[in-house]
């Protein structure tokens, strides 16, 4: 009776919704699942952040409409955090925009710049909203393969000139979801030169910059000379402070790009709940010892999972960042069949690589979001297959 728009029809099923359906059905039948699927931290939000939310929510002033562009105190906290963490100085009035989680900003941003038929250069595999945002804006995602042989970095030289002439945006995401790969300074400089040559806007997703191991500290794209001329960078408190359900993130960078996104958002939403914004200020400016504790937990889990998979003969690499392990699967399976095998025969939930894009085929993603004991049990279950 109701006909969906062509844009909606062209969207692929959202990966995690489909996985959640399978999980609910399995649990409803009483099965004991070990969920290594969606990247949702299992640890609670640090207590001092919760206390700040509680205090702020007592004030009736926080119950009213929030400011579309975020509270000045939050914008200043974000600016201060960038200066301290990356030595990047941002004007909190013009170069910082709080978001209802970075996902909505990433998905909305193409609406500001893509016209019908314009291209968005999207890594594949990737976080699904990179593609969805382009489609909903009337544009076309052009896939840049992330291949293991190239360190899961896009080969910019292989993008046809015919595509580049119609391209407006290019997405980069390091530390990377889903591959957990990191990028070196030379790659960022290459992206800057490439973007300036072809008049592209760089969209940098830095959501996993604080989930790191072995002393590694990822840079911000905005640290590099020339990046501020062409880039907007998205960040989130979701993974850093175990705040996925709170929905608070931010965009930073070139003031024209930030203001364009702000204009889109002013027509779509009314800002983040003010009490949550004040809790976000506490997260960024309050005690930071919780970060070491959070990363320490994930590092222990990473080491247990990597060691266990290697003991089974799997060829896996320990990531330096994110809480994901990207695993090549046996050649006789595709990623959906192998993920289904693990669910049906071992009661283990993983994410099939193809769900992140066609070039994710041949891999699965495993999230480090269950305790060590459950990871050890997962290894035992896999060994029995």
Q: What is the pLDDT of residue 16?
A: 67
Give domain status of residue 344, yes or no: yes
Check whether residue 229 and residue 277 sit in a common domain. yes
Asked whether residue 190 falls in the same domain as residue 317, the answer is no
Contact in structure between 285 and 77 (CB atoms under 8 Å) = yes
Q: What confidence category does residue 17 fall into, taking pLDDT thresholds of 50, 70 and 90?
A: confident
Domain that holds residue 216: 47-285
> Where residue 52 sits, what CATH number does that domain have?
3.40.640.10
* pLDDT recorded at residue 15: 65
Q: Are residues 35 and 108 in the same domain?
A: no
Mean pLDDT of the chain: 94
Nearest one of 324, 318, 347, 344 to 333, comparing CA atoms: 344
* Percentage, residues of the chain above pLDDT 70: 99
Distance (Å, whole) CA 372 – CA 208: 21
Please check the confidence at residue 242 and state whether its pLDDT lies above 90: yes
Residue-level pLDDT at 39 = 87
If you average pLDDT over residues 30-52, what whole number do you get? 93
Look at the chain and report how many structural domains it folds into: 2
1 part of a folded domain: no
User: Helix, strand, or coil here: 53?
Assistant: helix
In the prediction, which pLDDT does 6 show? 84
Both structure tokens of 322: 């994110």
Residue 1 has pLDDT above 80, yes or no: no
- Lowest mean pLDDT of 28-42, 192-206, 337-351, name the range: 28-42
| 257 and 320 inside one domain | no
Q: CA-CA distances (angstroms) from residue 7 to 2, 131, 132, 134, 277?
A: 15, 12, 9, 10, 33
Are 75 and 15 in the same domain?
A: no
| CA atoms of 312 and 243, how far apart (whole Å) | 34
* DSSP annotation string for 282-351: HHHHS--HHHHHHHHHHHHHHHHHHHHHHHTT------SBSSEEEEEPPTTS-HHHHHHHHHHHH-EE-E
Nearest one of 162, 160, 110, 161 to 139, comparing CA atoms: 110
- Tens-digit pLDDT profile for residues 104-160: 999 999 999 999 999 999 999 999 999 999 999 999 999 999 999 999 999 999 999
Residues 140 and 263 in one domain: yes
The token pair that represents 250 in the structure block: 């931010």
Question: Is the per-residue pLDDT at 261 higher than 80?
Answer: yes
Going by C-alpha positions, the residue among 216, 234, 177, 183 that lies closest to residue 365 is 177
- Mean pLDDT over 254-277 rounds to 95
Contact 179, 207 (CB under 8 A): no
**pLDDT attached to residue 303:** 98
pLDDT mean over 79-93: 98
Q: What is the pLDDT of residue 145?
A: 98
Average confidence (pLDDT) over 205-234: 97
pTM, rounded to two decimals = 0.95
Q: Is the pLDDT of residue 382 over 80?
A: yes
What are the tens digits of pLDDT across the range 268-311?
999 999 999 999 999 999 999 999 999 999 999 999 999 999 99
Q: In terms of domains, do 278 and 350 share one?
A: no
Task: Specify whether 139 is located in the same domain as 241.
Answer: yes
Instruction: Say if residues 187 and 157 touch (Cβ distance below 8 Å).
Output: no
Residue 168 lies in a domain: yes
Q: Which residue has the higher pLDDT, 3 or 148?
A: 148
Give helix then strand counts, H and E, for the chain: 13, 12
pLDDT of residue 355 exceeding 70, the answer is yes
CATH number of the domain that residue 358 is part of: 3.90.1150.10
Residues 39 and 239 sit within 8 Å (Cβ to Cβ): yes
Contact 319, 326 (CB under 8 A): yes
- Give the model's pLDDT for residue 3: 85
User: Is residue 14 over pLDDT 80?
Assistant: no
- The confidence score (pLDDT) of residue 7 equals 83
Question: Based on the domain organization, do 225 and 148 belong to the same domain?
Answer: yes
């Amino acid at each position: 009776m109701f006909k969906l728009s062509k844009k909606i029809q062209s969207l692929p099923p959202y990966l995690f919704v489909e996985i959640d359906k399978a999980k609910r059905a399995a649990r409803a039948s009483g099965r004991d699942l070990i969920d290594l699927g969606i990247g949702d931290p299992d640890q609670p939000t640090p207590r001092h952040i919760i206390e700040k939310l509680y205090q702020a929510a007592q004030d009736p002033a926080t119950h009213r409409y929030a400011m579309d562009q975020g509270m000045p105190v939050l914008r200043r906290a974000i600016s201060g955090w960038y200066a301290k963490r990356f030595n990047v100085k941002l004007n909190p009035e013009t170069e910082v925009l709080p978001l209802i989680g970075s996902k909505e900003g990433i998905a909305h941003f193409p609406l500001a710049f893509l016209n019908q038929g314009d291209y968005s250069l999207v890594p594949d595999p990737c976080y699904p909203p990179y593609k969805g945002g382009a489609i909903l804006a009337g544009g076309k995602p052009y896939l840049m393969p992330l291949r293991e042989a190239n360190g899961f970095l896009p080969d910019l030289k292989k993008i046809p000139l015919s595509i580049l002439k119609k391209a407006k945006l290019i997405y980069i995401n390091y530390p990377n979801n889903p591959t957990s790969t990191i990028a070196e300074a030379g790659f960022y400089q290459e992206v800057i030169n490439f973007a300036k040559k072809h008049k592209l806007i760089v969209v940098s997703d830095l959501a996993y910059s604080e989930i790191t191991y072995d002393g590694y500290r990822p840079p911000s794209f905005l640290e590099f000379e020339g990046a501020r001329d062409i880039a907007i960078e998205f960040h989130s408190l979701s993974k850093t402070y175990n705040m996925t359900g709170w929905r608070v993130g931010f965009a930073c960078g070139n003031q024209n790009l930030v203001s364009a996104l702000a204009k889109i958002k002013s027509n779509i939403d009314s800002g983040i709940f003010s009490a949550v914004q004040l809790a976000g200020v506490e997260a960024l400016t309050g005690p930071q010892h919780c970060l070491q504790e959070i990363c320490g937990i994930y590092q222990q889990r990473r080491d247990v999972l990597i060691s266990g998979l290697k003991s089974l003969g799997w060829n896996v690499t320990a990531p330096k960042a994110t809480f994901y392990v990207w695993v090549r699967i046996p050649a006789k399976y595709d990623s959906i069949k192998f993920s289904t095998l693990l669910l049906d025969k071992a009661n283990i939930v993983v994410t099939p690589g193809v769900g992140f894009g066609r070039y994710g085929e041949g891999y699965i993603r495993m999230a480090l979001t269950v305790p060590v004991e459950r990871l050890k049990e997962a290894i035992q279950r896999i060994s029995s297959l």
